[in-house]
Amino acid sequence: MIANTTTDFFVRVKANLTLITCSLRIEFPCLQSVAFVSCNDSTELAELRDLCDRDKDLLQATPLGILALIYRQHVRKWEEWAAHLWINVNEIELLLKMAPPGWNFNKPTPERVKELSNPDVMNRQFATTHAQICHSHLILTFGVRYAEHCLEAMDLVERARIGIRLQPREREAFEGYLRPFLSICQSLQDRSTDLLERLRCLISMSTNMIAQKEARTNRDIAQSNLRVAQSAASDSRIMKTIGLLGVLFLPATFTTALWEVNLFELDNQTNKIVYAVTTVGLTLLVFGAWGSYMYMAQKPLEWYRGDESEAVGGLVENRPLV
């Protein structure tokens, strides 16, 4: 390490859609440094520049100060992101009536409640929030490791300065500036884990509620179908009764119409007896034919093919084996 006069550091820090890249070169033993910082958002880059102007003492104390300033800027962004995710989860909890008392810090508007009442919109909200929380947990894990790597880089710089017989300086300033934001990042990481567990519970409860609602709907449909079937059965009995009455009086009606033509010249007493016997006989004949038809209709189709099946079976049994 004593033979090398320079040490290079390259970091990339991401917050949502913002990406900051920093390339830092430190020269020993004078500790002169040059840093090249790029960002895909000019506003973020301007905020970092203003932060460097406000904390010049840190940059003068250690060349790694620029890494601490980048970390501070992103921790603030991560705090806003975590607060937004907490509001989204709390909004879903309020809508599903699962929020504990006193947790309605951001009560959704009636328009938002109506929007989230749509199952498709709610499912998209679940998927979006779940993806953001998982991503935030990944980013915050990176943030914790980033701070730890910055402290390791500080140890590397201090060991290099000790190797060239110089005393470490301003280490307390660097650690005192970095560690509070490290604690915040660790707290945000714990919060993201908590939000993820809460969201999973909400997804599970929402799925159960949808299943129960569908079960109630299916039960109502089944009850409605049962009522329709009972009504149809009642109508069928009524129609059967009407048909039975028609069959009962049809022979008598036919006989009466036939007798009105005066085809038979019989005395009064004989005429009545013949009319009664004919009517009863036709009625019994009609009911006998109807009963035979109903009896034959209840037989399975194979019953009519019994002889044919036996004949086919005999042919199969008498077929020579090849």
Strands, E, within 28-145: which ranges? Answer: 32-39
Among 168, 185, 220, which residue terminates a domain? 220
189: tokens are 């990481």
In a domain, 226, yes or no: no
pLDDT for the residue numbered 319? 45
Residue 164 confidence (pLDDT): 55
Q: What is the pLDDT of residue 312?
A: 45
48 and 140 fall within a common domain: yes
Look at the chain and report how many structural domains it folds into. 2
- Domain membership of residue 110 (yes or no) is yes
The answer to whether position 228 is within a domain reads no
The pLDDT tens digits along the chain (322 residues) read: 445 567 777 887 776 667 888 888 887 767 778 888 888 888 888 888 888 888 888 888 788 888 888 898 889 888 988 888 888 888 888 877 777 766 666 677 778 777 777 878 888 888 888 898 998 888 899 889 989 888 888 887 777 666 554 455 567 788 888 889 999 999 999 999 999 998 888 888 888 887 888 899 999 999 999 899 888 888 888 888 888 888 788 888 888 888 777 766 767 777 788 888 888 888 888 888 888 887 887 776 666 565 544 444 444 444 444 3
Burial class (CB in 10 A: 0-12, 13-18, 19+), 73: buried
Alpha-carbon distance of 26 to 35, in angstroms, equals 9
Same domain, 102 and 208: yes
Residue 305 belongs to domain spanning: 264-317
232, part of any domain: no
pLDDT in the model for residue 55: 86
Instruction: Answer yes or no: is 59 within a domain.
Output: yes
Strands 32-39 and 6-15: unpaired
Considering 188, 220, 252, which residue would you say is the last residue of a domain? 220
Answer whether the bond into residue 29 is a cis peptide, omega within 30°.
Answer: yes
**Separation between Cα atoms, residue 188 and residue 141, nearest integer Å:** 10
Same domain, 162 and 281: no
pLDDT of residue 23: 87
121 and 20 in a common domain: yes
Q: Do 134 and 41 fall within a single domain? A: yes
3-state secondary structure of 147: helix
CA distance 207 to 205: 5
- How far does the chain reach from its first CA to its final CA, in angstroms? 95
Q: Are residues 184 and 282 in the same domain?
A: no
Q: How crowded is residue 221: how many other Cβ atoms within 10 Å of its Cβ?
A: 10
The 3-state DSSP composition of the chain as helix, strand, coil percent (nearest 5) reads 75, 10, 15
Cβ neighbours of residue 98 closer than 8 Å, sequence gap 6 or more: 201, 202, 205
The reply to whether 270 and 148 lie within a common domain is no
C-beta separation of 164 from 29 below 8 A: yes
**Backbone phi, psi, residue 23, to 5°:** -115, 120
Q: How many helices (H) and strands (E) does the chain have?
A: 9, 3
Question: Cα–Cα distance between 60 and 165 in angstroms, integer?
Answer: 21
Could you tell me if 159 and 48 lie in one domain?
A: yes
Closest CA to 119 of 142, 149, 143, 95: 95
8 A C-beta contact, residue 20 and residue 44: yes
DSSP SS3 for 30: coil
User: What is the C-alpha to C-alpha distance for residues 244 and 250, in angstroms, rounded to an integer?
Assistant: 10
Tokens describing residue 169: 């300086």
Give the DSSP letter string of 212-223: HHHHHHHHHHHH
Show which of 220, 254, 286 is a domain's final residue. 220
210 assigned to some structural domain: yes
Residue 236 placed within a domain:
no
| CA dist., res. 158 & res. 179, Å (int) | 18
Instruction: Indicate the residue type of 167.
Output: Q
295 and 205 in a common domain: no
Q: Sign of the C-alpha dihedral, residues 188, 194, 196, 202?
A: negative
Q: Is the pTM of this model over 0.75?
A: no
Residue 212, token pair as written in the block: 């129960």
- Alpha-carbon distance 279 to 257, whole Å? 11
Is residue 31 within 8 Å of 63, Cβ to Cβ?
yes
Does 268 lie in the same domain as 148?
no
User: Do the domain assignments include residue 166?
Assistant: yes
